[in-house]
């Protein structure tokens, strides 16, 4: 055997016959990424996927030691943090990774929004993306209770109380999630199953759809970037953009590593359902803007309960955002400007209420 | 304890030194590694007769000169300014012990500065051979500054036989001198490559850009292969007690039983690993794809590894500033018995002559003890703040705690490996307790707290 690459070719041919790798390679080489001043935002989806992968791996490892039981949940997290070799590291990767993932998903959402990536033919991609955001936040909400410390307990309680105010489905939904009148063993069990089984399955399905559509329609370009007079430069996805994507992943992972090692995730005292709620209890940062907005609502607005009106307003704002492909289809300059202004207002409102909620 | 010290509220003096020192490390390492980069790249340009490479070097040398000679020199002076104000006793030991060493280092530093200016301003005035020789000279001078400084820095962690002989060359050529020298050179070469990626990613000519970017990536290879070996020899010569501090140092029971040093070590390893992978799949495999923004982020990663590792090295010395000789609060280990017997305040030179603004009462005298023994690491209500650390402890608990940290028996004092033992007689401890009670709001009117100006007039 004189040719050193013979085994490689054999393996390559074997795989090619069965997996048609050349077709995938051709597709990857055909895919192009537009190069323009906003290209940096194309990395956000990939970074979110990286953090999602971190969530899956660390989540599986945490499941080995976590016990979803009222008496043992808190103790098992303490054990992970203090007795299991590198348990603190895995848990911090999971907790910080979740926060970074949600932050990047928000960046991905708003960057896609301002680049008008929701317009034809990407309406369904946009809608699935919005669903993915909801799923991501649901991951955060369901996972937050699992350590069963006092802050997570009362934050979940407040969150479910607010959810129960939603007309028609609210009370049923809250009771379904709680597994009864109060937060207890049934709630932990349900949140655990939702967190580790239901949400991952839904997310994977939606994500597959999202990615297929992205491949189908290619990368969107902001309006005015690619014109017949001034065509936009492009580069091949593979290997050029892909290799750079890997670099961005490494950098993003490094940010996560810095947070994990320099500010490892702690745990508060065990939840006591009979104790009064600690002062100034707040939800996680990604729910803070809504929480702060609802806090500002008066007890009653006319004949309606203030919180109910607040929920309606939030739903209306979110609804307009979700439906943007259908009221800004790119045919009207006025609507396009309106959509941009609306997005800016929502973004500024989100940031302002979050900061307000954090410092108040 | 023998000089006035600078009290920095909230952040503490340690951070002032730390921030200036870390920035200086970034610049000084670039000054040496970058010197090698200039010399080798110019050699390459000379051999290849590559005018594009010369053009790049011209551009890069401007960036290099400004960064190393201006910012580097300013931060270098800044370190002297900060350490002499925050830790004057430690600074005095280094100056008195290595007077000749500092003088030699200064000569090389001045030569280095003169050469880099000559290098930058003679691009069109000297022949190519002469200019290349200037680059080589610069590299030689810059390495010599490292050769000298490295001896003094490593002395602080591993003073070795100096502790008995007090002969400066025995302290200089200590157990970690050679591995540290190799490690620092490797870090310098790696950083030089990373700094140069930032400038080379902006080269207009695509072929030259790809060539130089890939060339820069190769500067990370030496640390990848030789770094672990040098690191092993370095750690093998560090005192075992210091290594134990890494894993058993400052516990944070609320977040797990691991120390901040261990976490810093893991971070350093993770970032080092990712830097190597990055260099391979980024600038080496895909030099065309390396943008300025990505190269800056990459450089930040490299600088973070360097900063974290330097910080770890500094913390390894805890609780000493010169290992086994002087504690980080400037108290000599050999003086502890004497200070315990005769009292800290009575023998602390500066506190005996300084006037206390609010009179000579227990609280003010206790504040003075806190200032001279604790403030090299702690603040009242900021970084490592006593208010948080004392929590709800009442006076009895505070006194009990002070007795604990005064003990020099490991079984009685769990803080011994990371904190200097508290020094002073019972009267000093009472005064310190009186002052600490005012920090966490536990001060009560009691005989111990009341003014005893007359009784303390000896201070």
Residue window 29-58, chain A: list those with CB within 8 Å of chain B: 40
- Interface test mutation site (partner B, options A257, A266, A268, max chain B beta carbons within 10 A): A257
C-alpha dist (Å) from residue A27 to A15, A39, A211, B191, B285:
17, 21, 14, 38, 21
Rounded to two decimals, the pTM is 0.83
Q: What is the pLDDT of residue B258?
A: 60
| Chain segment B98-134, per-residue pLDDT in tens | 999 999 999 999 999 999 999 999 999 999 999 999 9
Distance spanning both ends of chain B, measured CA to CA: 14
Q: Are B163 and B56 in contact (CB under 8 A)?
A: no
Residues B156 and B321: beta-carbon distance below 8 Å: yes
Q: What distances in angstroms separate CA B440 from CA B117, B290, B388, one per listed residue?
A: 55, 53, 8
Asked if B286's CB is within 8 angstroms of A82's CB, the reply is: no
Cβ atoms within 10 Å of A263's Cβ, excluding its own: 12
Rounded Cα distance between B238 and B265, Å, is 15
Query: 3-state class of A278 per DSSP?
Result: coil
Cα gap B335→B320, rounded to integer Å: 14
Selected residue of B289, B293, B383 to mutate for chain A interface (largest A Cβ count, 10 A): B289
The partner residue sitting opposite A250, judged by closest CB among B257, B278, B304, is: B278
| pLDDT class of B455 with cuts at 50, 70, 90 | very low
- Judged by CB atoms closer than 8 Å, whether chains meet at B304 and A40 is answered as no
Per residue in B294-309, pLDDT tens? 999 999 999 999 999 9
Rounded CA-CA distance B72/B62 in Å is 14
Task: From B158, B126, B136, select the one nearest B38 (Cα to Cα).
Answer: B136
Closest CA to B190 of B274, B280, B268, B276: B276
Q: Looking at CA atoms only, how far is residue A120 from chain B in angstroms?
A: 31
ipTM of model? 0.84
Number of H helices, E strands in chain A: 15, 4
Reported as a pLDDT band with limits 50, 70 and 90, residue B449 is: very low
Chain A nearest-CA distance from B265, in A, is 9
- What are the average pLDDT values for consecutive 10-residue runs of chain A, which has 360 residues? 56 88 82 90 96 98 97 95 90 97 97 96 97 97 95 92 87 93 94 97 97 92 87 87 92 95 90 86 93 93 90 95 96 95 97 95
Contact by Cβ (8 Å): A273, A184: yes
In chain A the beta strands, taken as DSSP E runs, fall at 32-35, 233-236, 300-301, 304-305
Q: Say if residues B24 and B79 touch (Cβ distance below 8 Å).
A: yes
Residue A25, chain B, CB below 8 Å: the answer is: no
Are the C-beta atoms of residues B274 and A253 closer than 8 Å to each other? yes
Backbone angles phi, psi at B256, to 5 degrees: 120, 160
Give the one of A81, A88, A250 whose C-beta lies nearest to B277's C-beta: A250
User: Tokens 């048609």 sit at which residue?
Assistant: A20
- Chain B neighbors of A266, CB-CB under 8 A: 254-255
Q: A65 at the B interface (CB within 8 A)?
A: no
* pLDDT over 60 (residue B353): no
Taking the C-alpha atoms of residue B309 and residue B150, their distance in angstroms, rounded to an integer, is: 15
CA atoms within 13 A on the CB side of A235: 16
Chain A within 8 Å of B298 (Cβ-Cβ)? Answer: yes
Burial of B353 (0-12, 13-18, 19+ CB in 10 A): exposed
Strand partners, B251: B259
Q: How far apart are CA B156 and CA B292, in angstroms?
A: 39
- Any idea which residue has 């909620």 for tokens? A357
| Dist CA B296 CA B301 (whole Å) | 9
Angle at A224 between CA A221 and CA A225, to 5 degrees: 50
Residue where the block lists tokens 């309680």: A157
Return the residue in A92, A254, A269 with the most chain B beta carbons within 10 A, the one to mutate for interface testing. Answer: A254
B305-323 confidence digits (pLDDT tens) = 999 999 888 888 888 999 9
Would the CB atoms of B281 and A261 count as touching at under 8 Å? no
Cis peptide upstream of residue A26 (ω within 30 degrees of 0): no
What is the bridge-based pairing of β-strands B256-259 and A300-301? unpaired
Which residues in chain A are closer than 8 Å to B281, comparing Cβ atoms? 243, 246-247
For residues A87 and A317, give the distance between their C-alpha atoms in angstroms, rounded to a whole number: 41
Q: Which residue of A has its CA nearest to B279?
A: A247
* % of chain B with per-residue pLDDT over 90: 71
Residue B360 clears pLDDT 90, i.e. is over it:
no
* Shortest Cα distance, chain A CAs vs residue B257, angstroms: 5
Residue of A nearest to B265 (CA): A261
Residue B379 DSSP one-character state: B
Rounded CA gap, B32 and B140, in Å? Answer: 9
Query: How many Cβ pairs within 8 Å bridge chains A and B?
Result: 76
| Residue of chain B with shortest Cα separation from A258 | B267
pLDDT (tens digit, 9 = 90+) per residue, B74-104?
A: 999 999 999 999 899 999 999 999 999 999 9
- Upstream peptide bond of B319 is cis (omega within 30 degrees of 0): yes
């Amino acid at each position: 055997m004189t040719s050193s690459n013979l085994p490689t070719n054999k393996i390559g041919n074997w795989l090619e016959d069965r997996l048609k790798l050349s077709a995938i390679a051709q597709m990857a080489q055909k895919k192009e990424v537009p190069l323009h001043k906003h290209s940096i935002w194309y990395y956000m989806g990939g970074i979110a996927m990286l953090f999602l992968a971190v969530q899956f791996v660390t989540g599986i490892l945490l499941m080995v030691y976590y016990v979803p039981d009222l008496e043992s949940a808190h103790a098992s997290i303490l054990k992970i943090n203090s007795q299991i070799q590198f348990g603190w590291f895995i848990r911090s990767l999971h907790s910080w990774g979740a926060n970074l993932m949600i932050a990047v998903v928000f960046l991905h959402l708003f960057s896609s929004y301002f680049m008008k990536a929701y317009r034809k033919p990407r309406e369904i991609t946009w809608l699935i993306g919005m669903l993915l955001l909801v799923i991501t936040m649901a991951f955060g909400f369901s996972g937050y209770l699992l350590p069963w410390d006092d802050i997570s307990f009362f934050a979940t309680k407040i969150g479910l109380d607010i959810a129960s105010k939603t007309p028609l489905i609210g009370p049923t939904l809250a009771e379904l999630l709680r597994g009864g009148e109060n937060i207890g063993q049934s709630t932990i069990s349900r949140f655990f199953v939702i967190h580790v089984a239901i949400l991952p399955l839904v997310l994977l399905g939606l994500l597959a759809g999202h990615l297929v559509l992205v491949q189908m329609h290619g990368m969107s370009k902001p309006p005015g970037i690619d014109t017949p007079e001034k065509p936009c430069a492009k580069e091949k996805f593979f290997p050029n953009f892909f290799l750079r994507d890997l670099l961005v992943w490494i950098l993003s992972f490094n940010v996560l590593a810095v947070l994990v090692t320099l500010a490892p995730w702690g745990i508060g005292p065990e939840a006591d359902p009979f104790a009064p709620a600690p002062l100034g209890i707040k939800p996680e940062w990604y729910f803070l803007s809504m929480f702060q907005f609802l806090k500002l609502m008066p007890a009653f607005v006319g004949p309606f309960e203030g919180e109910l009106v607040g929920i309606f307003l939030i739903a209306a704002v979110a609804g307009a955002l979700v439906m943007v492909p259908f009221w800004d289809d790119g045919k009207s300059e006025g609507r396009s400007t309106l959509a941009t202004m609306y997005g800016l207002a929502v973004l500024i409102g989100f940031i302002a209420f979050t900061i307000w909620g954090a410092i108040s | 304890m023998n000089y006035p010290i600078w009290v920095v509220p909230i952040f503490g003096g340690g951070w002032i030194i730390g921030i200036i020192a870390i920035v200086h490390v970034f610049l000084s390492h670039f000054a040496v590694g970058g010197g090698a980069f200039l010399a080798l790249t110019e050699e390459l340009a000379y051999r290849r007769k590559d005018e594009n490479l010369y053009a790049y070097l011209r551009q890069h040398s401007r960036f290099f000169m400004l960064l190393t000679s201006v910012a580097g020199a300013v931060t270098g002076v800044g370190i002297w300014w900060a350490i002499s104000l925050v830790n004057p006793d430690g600074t005095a030991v280094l100056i008195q012990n290595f007077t000749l060493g500092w003088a030699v280092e200064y000569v090389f530093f001045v030569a280095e500065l003169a050469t880099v200016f000559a290098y930058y301003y003679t691009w069109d005035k000297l022949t190519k051979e002469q200019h290349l020789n200037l680059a080589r000279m610069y590299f030689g001078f810059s390495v010599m500054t490292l050769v000298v400084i490295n001896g003094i820095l490593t002395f602080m962690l591993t003073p070795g036989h100096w502790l008995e002989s007090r002969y400066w060359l025995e302290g200089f050529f200590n157990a970690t001198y050679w591995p540290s020298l190799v490690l620092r050179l490797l870090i310098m070469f790696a950083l030089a490559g990373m700094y140069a990626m930032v400038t080379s990613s902006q080269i207009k000519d695509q072929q030259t850009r790809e060539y130089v970017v890939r060339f820069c990536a190769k500067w990370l290879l030496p640390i990848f292969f030789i770094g672990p070996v040098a690191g092993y020899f370095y750690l093998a010569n560090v005192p075992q007690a210091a290594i134990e501090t890494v894993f058993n140092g400052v516990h944070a029971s609320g977040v797990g039983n691991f120390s901040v040093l261990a976490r810093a070590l893991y971070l350093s390893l993770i970032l080092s690993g990712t830097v190597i992978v990055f260099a391979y799949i980024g600038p080496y495999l895909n030099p065309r794809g390396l943008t300025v923004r990505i190269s800056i982020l990459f450089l930040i990663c490299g600088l973070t590894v360097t900063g974290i590792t330097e910080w770890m090295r500094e913390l390894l010395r805890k609780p000493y500033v010169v290992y086994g000789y002087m504690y980080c609060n400037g108290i000599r280990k050999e003086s502890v018995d004497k200070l315990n017997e005769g009292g800290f305040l009575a023998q602390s030179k500066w506190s005996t002559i300084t006037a206390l603004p609010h009179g000579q009462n227990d609280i003010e005298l206790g504040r003075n003890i806190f200032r001279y023994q604790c403030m090299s690491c702690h603040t009242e209500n900021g970084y490592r703040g006593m208010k948080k650390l004392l929590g709800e402890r009442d006076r009895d608990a505070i006194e009990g705690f002070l007795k604990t940290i005064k003990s020099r028996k490991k079984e009685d004092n769990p803080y011994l490996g990371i904190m200097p033992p508290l020094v002073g007689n019972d009267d000093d401890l009472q005064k310190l307790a009186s002052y600490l009670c005012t920090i966490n709001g536990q001060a009560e009117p009691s005989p111990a707290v009341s003014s005893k100006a007359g009784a303390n007039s000896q201070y």
